[in-house]
Structure 1
Amino acid sequence: MTQTVDVDHDARRTLDLLGPAPDNWVPDYPGIDHNVLIVGGGQTGCAFAFALGRAGIGRVSVIDAAADASKAGVWLNRARMNKLRTPKTLVGPEGGLPGLSFRAWYEARFGAASYQEIDRIPRERWAEYLAWYREFLDVPIRYGTRLVRIEPKDTHFALHLERGGSTHVETARKIVLCNGVAGNGGAFVPAVLQSLPAQLVAHTSDAIDFAALRGKSVAVLGGAASAFDATATALEAGAGEVHLFARRTTLAATPVSRARAYPGAYDNYFDLPDALRWAQALRFKRSGSTAPPDSIERVTRFENFHLHLGAQWASASEAAGQIEADVAGESFRFDFAIAGTGYFVNPAARPELADFASHILLWRDQYTPSKEDSDDGLGAHPYLGQALEYREKVAGEAPYLKHIHVYNPAGFVSAGVPVGDVPSMKRDIPAVVRRISRDLFLADIDLHAKRLAAEVPPEFDESAYASSVWRNETSNA
């Protein structure tokens, strides 16, 4: 007889021990559709939906521009690494509940010994876990729904949402932007590539048809992990040759962010002086983002991989359907070019933020470094509060900004971690949920004062204890 094994036993037991989620305690407002709108249904959007529910905050909605779950997030789309770049032991969307963790999920399916054998989490396993997490916790996501404009009102936001080619308006009191690496800016494509025909160039954030590159000559610009992952994917798809061009004369190999990866620095990062936070961000940028050793090994095993160091592209043009490039005094011809050059931060570049981008306090508005430590890119990051909320450039001109929480990498300079990735979840998700709870509670303090003063019926009367009341001998006589 076959024995049925409940692989989700630990997860079910965890929820059972937690008990049911609290009832929604946030008073309804006429004309308000959502207490919180979460933009992005990936790993953090789902984690926020669960955490807000456990905090008793109802009327939370999650939207995602992707057509369906398989196209949402990065893990089955533009992420091309074999393994996650972070340690497998980090707290993720489970929020400190072991039964909902990746380890519990993985061991239930593949065994504890298998978990011990993996050094980092395989990307596709992580995607499977996130799908399970979403389905197991029954997180509802409205796919095919894009936020195109946030319009501030006196007490809420009017949200212009696009779905199926038409736009409609919904309202919300709070917004959490879980919209990925381009959520406060966009993909950075070097100027030298921007004049080339679109069919000859892609950014690593794009959906690239790597099978079409079979037998082709491919150029990849960039020296960090995404560039190496795109290079490896092209080589594994059968590209004829792939040349990777890095501006640095040596590859970045020192993960300087590990110097602050301990609880004291992590937990108290927002309390550091601005000068120290700026210095940390600048140190990281100048040291360079490192590709994991296995990402480098993945490409160097191919004889048709060629690495160019200190190689800045001087010019590029289209010639007979190919790219003709001048790089460090050499001429090259390629069939296709991929920009693995990261992302820029600029809230004004996002149409949904256009109504108020000029009011957002940026790091360049708040902190002035020395001339030798200035950096325009870092200065363009929003200067966020401890709950990752936007702050006003001029006090009193845009008080609604504190109700928009930025859970994407634009928070890096402020938070010290790549916000939206696993390292940010343990500290920042609870902080944002606590702030949302506090703001919603205090906004309705008069109503809550009445509720706190409400009559509470007694559970028993004097008859329950009358027979046991002590009576002294005098009274007995």
Structure 2
Amino acid sequence: MPHPSADPIGLPELESRLDHDLACLNWPAKPWVPRRHHDGQAIEDVVIIGAGQAGLALAFGLAQQGIHALLLDRSAPGFEGPWATTARMETLRSPKELTGPAMGIANLTFRAWYEAQHGPDGWALLDKISRLEWIDYLRWYRKVTRPRIRNHACVTDIIPHADRVELTVAPATGAPAGAEGHDERVVARRVILATGRDGLGGPAIPSFMQGVDRRWWAHSSDEFDYTQLKGKHVGVIGAGASAMDSAATAIELGAASVDLLIRRQDIPRINKAKGAGVLGLTHAHVDLPDDWKWRIRHYINTLQVPPPQGSTLRVSRHANAYFHTGCAVISVQPTGQKQAPLQVRTSLGDFPLDFLVVATGFLPDWSQRPEFATFAPHVRLWAERFQPGEQETDTELENSPDLDDAFGFQERTPGCCPGLSRIHAFCYPASLSFGTISGDIPAISDGARLLSTRLASLLYREDLDDHWAALQQYAEPELDGSEWTPADSAQRLRTLQSRISSS
């Protein structure tokens, strides 16, 4: 086998190869879902809320099944997901070899995209994927897979019905001129929430932050300009990846100092989630007994995922960064002073600070998502499905939705919300039901394949009568009768019989 050239082939050549791959795979597949209308309006087969990596992978998977989806995203084109807005890491945690949303197609992988521009030698030299390279790859992914996306589209209401889901879509902040104020109704047979890490809630804000003026603090997920922290003494609550990235960003942009306030006596060292990242669990989690699902997810939650080494070193290389372990925050009080407007009381003492970054992660919290208000009270949660032992109580898991086998919500009380199962949670809170296949890079293609095939099954079964009628009416001939000449059977029989008689 000839050794591949070390020279970059360029993106145009890669795109030509990818087009050939897709043609060989008959992608996209032929549409087969009957068109439906409601009150004269065409019903979308599937609407995906969110056009980040999960939404893009799912749209590709649905196209493989002959189902074409509409994606709605509040962001501007190319800014979907956190990568170019609220994410502040230098590189991804995921190893560069993971194929992410490539859906099993070699020429759709990050590696193919990177080598096309930098060659195999460039790939060999690459250690970690930079955050901005990843968003550039996703922008290219969007270009070559051609999903139907409507940007600047903010979903403000989702109402399930027995035979459809109705959405109200408003122009998002930053929408093009002339679009303001024009709400639109979109009707779909199925709606997918590909809404990421905070998909069914939002930031986990500690109670001690209640009433604190937002001039003096931000959550690590906020779209906040860290240049405002130049010359300030900043506190960061937490020791996870977002805490380290926030601390490093503040220092790099001129903060006078950063104090990391870490409740634990030590920063976690071992990534148990990585230890669980085997293909067997990727496919088996959905089929595990409830107690094992809970045990695995609770164990990882309890031990916590450590911050990446690179992110931690990015902070600790600065002499004005201070790591305070065993430092539980008790209260945060305004001082009324221009200098050090916050007094942060901790188990180690009081910290006079200018600004506070709360890096405390996310929680399923329906109250933070008013667009879910119509159906949220009717969603069955894991707290109603499974009762753990006293040593395994876990608020995050208790508030996770108890999903059906197609990621669909289930009713808390049968009949209380017809059509609820037409809304599917393809986002992080699905991890207790399905494992980590609904958002994170390592197994996003596995999740997209699973959901797209199950949606294909649901849509076919809903229209079974129509498909049966179409089967009966199908009359496209493969033969027209000219392909053979009818034999003279009587003559042939005489010939065969005479052969026997003559012997």
The TM-score by the shorter chain falls in which range? over 0.9
Q: Is the 8 Å Cα contact of residues 347 and 353 (structure 1) preserved in structure 2?
A: yes
Q: Is the 8 Å Cα contact of residues 161 and 420 (structure 2) preserved in structure 1?
A: no
Aligned positions of 1:106-255 closer than 5 A: 106-163=114-171, 164-255=180-271
Equivalent-residue separation in structure 2 for 1:120 and 1:285 (angstroms): 25
Give the stretch that moved more between structures: 428-437 or 455-464.
Answer: 455-464
- Shift of the alpha carbon at 1:381? 0.7
CA deviation string 1:281-304 (max 9, x = no partner): 111111012111111111110000
Aligned equivalent of 2:24? 17
CA deviation string 1:81-132 (max 9, x = no partner): 1111112222321111111111111111111122122233221111110000
Aligned positions of 1:26-175 closer than 5 A: 26-31=33-38, 32-58=42-68, 60-66=69-75, 68-163=76-171, 164-175=180-191
1:416 and 2:435 correspond: yes
Between the aligned residues of both structures, percent identity stands at: 31
Pick aligned residue for 1:326 from 345, 349, 358:
345
| TM score, norm. by length of structure 1 | 0.94
Q: Is the 8 Å Cα contact of residues 285 and 434 (structure 2) preserved in structure 1?
A: yes
Q: Is the 8 Å Cα contact of residues 250 and 310 (structure 1) preserved in structure 2?
A: yes
Aligned equivalent of 2:415? 396
Extract unaligned runs of 5+ from structure 2: 1-8, 172-179, 499-503
CA distance 1:56–1:335, shift in 2 (3 Å):
same
CA distance 1:260–1:47, shift in 2 (3 Å):
same
SS at match of 1:93: helix
Letter in 1 for 2:122: S
- Shift of the alpha carbon at 1:467? 8.0
Aligned equivalent of 1:353? 372
Aligned equivalent of 2:363? 344
Extract unaligned runs of 5+ from structure 1: none
Give the stretch that moved more between structures: 206-215 or 458-467.
Answer: 458-467
SS at match of 1:10: helix
Equivalent-residue separation in structure 2 for 1:289 and 1:418 (angstroms): 17
Letter in 2 for 1:293: Q
Equivalent-residue separation in structure 2 for 1:327 and 1:215 (angstroms): 23
Q: Is the 8 Å Cα contact of residues 386 and 431 (structure 1) preserved in structure 2?
A: no
- Shift of the alpha carbon at 1:441? 0.7
Q: Is the 8 Å Cα contact of residues 315 and 326 (structure 1) preserved in structure 2?
A: yes
Aligned equivalent of 2:492? 472
- Shift of the alpha carbon at 1:71? 3.3
Equivalent-residue separation in structure 2 for 1:377 and 1:226 (angstroms): 18
Aligned positions of 1:407-446 closer than 5 A: 407-417=426-436, 419-446=438-465
CA deviation string 1:66-92 (max 9, x = no partner): 2x1243211111111111111222232
Give the stretch that moved more between structures: 417-426 or 190-199.
Answer: 417-426
- Shift of the alpha carbon at 1:396? 3.5
SS at match of 1:462: coil
Q: Is the 8 Å Cα contact of residues 7 and 109 (structure 1) preserved in structure 2?
A: no
- Shift of the alpha carbon at 1:374? 1.6
Equivalent-residue separation in structure 2 for 1:411 and 1:277 (angstroms): 12
Equivalent-residue separation in structure 1 for 2:121 and 2:16 (angstroms): 18
Aligned equivalent of 2:305? 289
CA deviation string 1:250-281 (max 9, x = no partner): 00111112332222222111111111111111
Equivalent-residue separation in structure 2 for 1:469 and 1:129 (angstroms): 68
CA deviation string 1:14-66 (max 9, x = no partner): 123223522321111122431111101111112222221221113x2111112
CA deviation string 1:116-158 (max 9, x = no partner): 2223322111111000010122223211111111112231011
Letter in 2 for 1:165: G
- Shift of the alpha carbon at 1:209? 1.1
1:448 and 2:467 correspond: yes
CA distance 1:170–1:473, shift in 2 (3 Å):
closer
Equivalent-residue separation in structure 2 for 1:150 and 1:82 (angstroms): 36
How many equivalent residue pairs? 473
Letter in 1 for 2:355: F
Letter in 1 for 2:222: D
Give the stretch that moved more between structures: 461-470 or 407-416.
Answer: 461-470
1:362 and 2:370 correspond: no
| TM score, norm. by length of structure 2 | 0.89
Aligned equivalent of 1:317? 333
- Shift of the alpha carbon at 1:463? 3.0
Q: CA RMSD in A?
A: 2.1
Q: Is the 8 Å Cα contact of residues 228 and 291 (structure 1) preserved in structure 2?
A: yes
- Shift of the alpha carbon at 1:475? 4.7
Q: Is the 8 Å Cα contact of residues 8 and 105 (structure 1) preserved in structure 2?
A: no
Equivalent-residue separation in structure 1 for 2:152 and 2:182 (angstroms): 11
Give the stretch that moved more between structures: 247-256 or 320-329.
Answer: 320-329
Equivalent-residue separation in structure 1 for 2:187 and 2:476 (angstroms): 37
